[in-house]
Structure 1
Amino acid sequence: MVSIKDIAKHAGVSISTVSYALNGSPKVTEETKGRILAVAKELNYVPNAAARQLKPRETKIIGCFLTTFAGAFYGSLLQGMKEELNRRGYDLIICSGTQSHRMLPERMLDGAIVLDRFFTDKELLLHAERGHKLVVLDRELNHPNIVQVLLDNKAGATFAIEHLLEYGHRKIYAVKGPEGSFDADQRLQAVRQTMERNGTAEYIELPGNFDKASGEAAAIRIMDEYTGQVAVFCFNDEMAIGMYQALKGTAFRIGEHIHIIGFDHLEIAEYLQPPLASIHYSEKRWGAVAAEQLIKLITDEGAEHERIYASLAEGGSVQRRNSFS
């Protein structure tokens, strides 16, 4: 069966140009439109009537669905999305809460980027089956209308634990993320696997919720249990910052008694004293790649799954264990 990709190849134009020509868009010249239609006729192209019926009127609006707006994490991510979408002629709106989910079935959006754990997999797959174009940042879903742009959580968490073990730490805490969080679950799996594979250290898991309050609570428990140098991997920087706040003014010194490593490498982490060691990746690039792949999905330009890679940014909050022995 002939597709618009075949027409694009024979006509020597992009897939989006073919799509515009077949749908009568003024974005292509009459000359180009005529050439494309001639190629389509020559190849006996037959439009998919069902797909044409599903195709909504373009709004040039993309929705980004978030679980929450809290914390310092989202600014760069959203800026990356906005810049890439604006460059391609789209606007971005930010949504949160289950009531906002109806914007998809009501076709108020041309597509959506999802980082919202209140969207169920079943709900997203249903939208995809109905023709909605989606990019997911927080789960793995298999559907032609869904592209995954995922953070390499497992590699980042592995870097963090291997760094602590390499520095000789023999008691390691992991401050986890909220229940049901894809990123937190991925990081936890990697931590457990790394400890099983390499760990001779004592390993303790503490509850967390990706916020400062849970970091403060973890710090209080660690101080109560303290018998000697410990290392802590907080599954995000917000919780690590909460630990800094709880430890401030106490007898416990970060980088000497308690060694801390975070995840996200927020800009503020560089201004803490001592600077926070953290797993680094570009939130802005993550957002830009998500936007780019969504537009490719909408315009049928060969969207692909992507992975955002992480690295370790060392800071003064982690030192070798024997430095203060």
Structure 2
Amino acid sequence: MVSIKDIAKQARVSISTVSYALNGSPKVTDETTARILAIAKELNYVPNAAARSLKTRETKIIGVFLTDFSGAFYGDLLQGTKEILTQKGYDLIVCSGKQSHRMLPERMIDGAIILDETFGNEQLLSYADRGHKLVVLDRELSHSNINQVLLDNKAGAMLAAEYLIEQGHRKLYVVTGPNGSYDSKQRLQAVTQVVERTAGAQLIVIEGDFNKAAGERAAERIMADSNSGLVSSAVFCFNDEMAIGMFNYLSEHHPNVKIGEQIHIIGFDNMELASYTQPRLSTIDYSKRKWGALAAEQLIKLISGDTVEHERIYVTLIKGCSVGSEK
């Protein structure tokens, strides 16, 4: 790789003169600058971004860390993030996996948005202690260099559970997310509170994994519980993808079971596909694009040294035909 030392040698000037010329400094004459730039082009010189960031202490790159890229959830979130970062002159890099975590301590990025359960809380706090700026979407952490932009999981889960109970259901199945998921834990806590304060209500928890396969397995379990498959059951899937997996399983294996009559299903996320299910899936809605945009805005404020307050993304209930009055 060509270095500024190589350019200096060919131009017969000092390394500092080359550095000044490459950075457009008035300390170097126009004639010398033009000659150095011509030599740099001839040698196919590419600036070393890592070295430059050590000097300027900025890369103009923001990292978004995700547990994985599966499912249809992340597109709007990342689009909202990208739009704000582009406006502010930053580029976006999306990362997954523990090896990518080193981008923070090695200062390859100026800050990070975290939606990745593989980061430990102590790990993130240690980064914040060293001055790294972070916005977390999946946990609660108290530190001056960390801002929280959290989804109002508890309000959404309460809306879903209360809606099912209003329809006359007293036996509620819930299909959770992965064990380490902050969102899943918050939703389960909220549903448990609703059931505990409802006379005669019963809660049955089925462990899921936020994917269609988990919804299919849950549907199989629920139909096995019902023997004939023709009893009225209420199911709250902690995301739409599992709810759609449940739709798929019932359509293939129990075509005579009518969703919205024999089984009542509600999801969470209002992903685009949910609007095309038959019947239309009831779900909890919020703006994923706004969530990503707000996370980016908060991170830029942190990097700029501005005061920030924690933010929350609010939710609403969309009533579809997948939930109906219990007969």
TM-score, structure 1 normalization = 0.81
**1:276-317 superposed Cα distances (whole Å, 9 cap, x missing partner):** 000100000000000000000000122221000111011010
In 2, the alpha carbon distance for the partners of 1:197 and 1:290 equals 35
Name the counterpart of 2:314. 309
Residues 151 and 199 (structure 1), Cα distance of their counterparts in 2 relative to 1, 3 Å cut = farther
Is the alpha carbon distance of 1:184 and 1:113 closer, same or farther for their aligned partners in structure 2, counting shifts above 3 Å?
same
Kindly state the Cα deviation for residue 57 of structure 1 after the two structures are TM-superposed.
1.7
Distance 2:129 2:281 in 1: 44
Deviation digits for residues 231-251 of structure 1 (CA, Å, limit 9, x no counterpart): 100001110011011000412
Q: 1:169 to 1:56 in 2, by over 3 A?
A: farther
The offset of 1:201, in angstroms, is: 2.6
Instruction: Give the counterpart of 2:257 among 252, 261, 266.
Output: 252
What SS is found at the alignment partner of 1:117? Answer: coil
Q: Which runs of 4+ in 1 moved over 6 A?
A: none
Indicate if the aligned counterparts of 1:171 and 1:229 stay in contact, CA closer than 8 A.
no
Which deviations, in whole Å up to 9, do the C-alpha atoms of 1:117-170 show, x marking residues without a partner? Answer: 000001000000000000000000000000000000000000000000001113
Contact 1:177 1:184 in 2 (8 A): yes
Which AA in structure 2 matches 1:264? D
Q: How many residues align?
A: 270
In 1, Cα distance between equivalents of 2:280 and 2:236: 15
Pairing 1:159-174 to 2, within 5 Å after superposition: 159-174=159-174
Query: Within the alignment, does 1:147 sit opposite 2:147 as a pair?
Result: yes
Alignment of 1:236-275 (within 5 A): 236-249=239-252, 250=254, 251-275=256-280
Q: Where does the alignment leave 5 or more consecutive residues of structure 2 unmatched?
A: 1-24, 26-53
Q: Distance in 2 between matches of 1:200 and 1:83?
A: 49
Q: Distance in 2 between matches of 1:55 and 1:158?
A: 51
Distance 1:55 1:148 in 2: 30
- CA–CA distance in 2 between the matches of 1:105 and 1:181? 25
2: CA distance between counterparts of 1:175 and 1:200? 20
Distance 1:198 1:142 in 2: 34
Q: Distance in 2 between matches of 1:193 and 1:55?
A: 53
* % identity of equivalent residues: 63
Q: How big is the alpha-carbon RMSD for the aligned residues of Structure 1 and Structure 2?
A: 1.4
Alpha-carbon spacing, 1:55–1:196, altered in 2? closer, same or farther (3 Å): farther
In structure 2, relative to structure 1, the CA distance for the partners of 1:223 and 1:302 (3 Å cut) is same
Task: Give the AA of the match of 2:277.
Answer: L
Paired amino acid for 2:305: D
Query: 1:64/1:318 Cα in 2 relative to 1: closer, same or farther (>3 Å)?
Result: same
Looking at structure 2, the residues matched to 56 and 149 of structure 1 have their Cα atoms a distance apart, in angstroms, of 29
Which residue of structure 1 lines up, in the alignment, with residue 87 of structure 2?
A: 87
CA distance in 2 between counterparts of 1:234 and 1:320 reads 18
1:55 Cα deviation from its structure 2 partner:
9.4
Cα distance change on mapping 1:199 and 1:317 into 2, 3 Å: farther
Q: Which amino acid aligns with 2:309?
A: E
Larger radius of gyration: 2
Distance in 2, Cα, partners of 1:71 & 1:125: 29
**Where do residues 76-155 of structure 1 align in structure 2 (5 Å cutoff)?**
76-155=76-155
Aligned equivalents of 2:56 and 2:233: distance in 1?
57
